[in-house]
Amino acid sequence: MSIFPYFEYLDKQIFYQIKDNDSENILILIHGSGENSNVWENQFYLKIDYNIIAIDLPSHNKSSKFPELSLDLYVDVVKKLVDILKPKKLILGGHSLGGVVIQEYYFRYPDDVSALILCATGGRMRVSQVIFDSIKPDYHVFLNNLKVGLFYRKTPKDIIENTILETSQIEPDVTYNDFKICDAFDTLNKTSSIDVPCLIICGKYDQLTPVKYSQFFHDKIINSVLHIIDKSGHGVLLEKPKEVNQALEEFIKNHK
């Protein structure tokens, strides 16, 4: 059963969900732009010997509001939690923007990390100007476009509508800043230096972070496994949870 605690960072509260499996090992999961920890709801059912944690990044959902958002802030928040928990082994997983955060964390603190899970993300994350132009003038336009941009065309309607509802609760400026962080990110020249095991997951029909992004990871990271999941898009975690969890369980059990 998951419980809902907070930890303090700079006198503010950071919310996280945890599935306590009575383990010294920890899997920390980071959500994408305009998302929150609920995007990982299906991963709390993983059968692994790790405690499972999903964070609401600053200014997202139940975490405190911060005046300025940055990649440095997001990485520092994760580092604070790691320092509090002091896991025996740490696996970091990230979806989209979350993948940016965990890559940056790894480059700064490589000795902390035993493995990475890179889901629907990239080493460079250029964002279309169309996305930026649709967020601030009318957030509803951006939310409506998620139906097409985030999902495979045959994804069930209830999954799409629930995702739009979750994103609608994030302030437009926060989502905008998330995408700005992604757009500025470029560590392609450092990708090949990643020397921990990596699980790479992407939806076959992902329009935001196409398969070629994940293939680049797989080509450059020697110790990596690539799963391209059919009939899914950028929202692969929600669209194909059974396939994603199967890949996660197999990967984690093979890298004890």
Give residue 256's pLDDT.
Answer: 65
* Closest to 189 measured CA to CA, from 98, 130, 123, 106: 123
Q: Is the pLDDT of residue 3 over 80?
A: no
Number of CB atoms found within 10 A of residue 126's CB: 12
Residue 221 phi, psi (nearest 5): -95, 115
Q: What digits encode the pLDDT tens for the residues 64-97?
A: 999 999 999 999 999 999 999 999 999 999 999 9
Contact indicator for 14, 8 with CB cutoff of 8 Å:
yes
Is residue 138 very low, low, confident or very high in pLDDT (cuts 50, 70, 90)? confident
Range of 244's domain?
Answer: 2-253
For residue 176, give Cα distances in angstroms to 33, 45, 183, 205, 217.
8, 31, 11, 24, 26
For the entire predicted model, the pTM comes to 0.96
Q: What is the CATH number of the domain that holds 26?
A: 3.40.50.1820
Instruction: Report how many domains make up the chain.
Output: 1
Q: Is the pLDDT of residue 1 over 80?
A: no
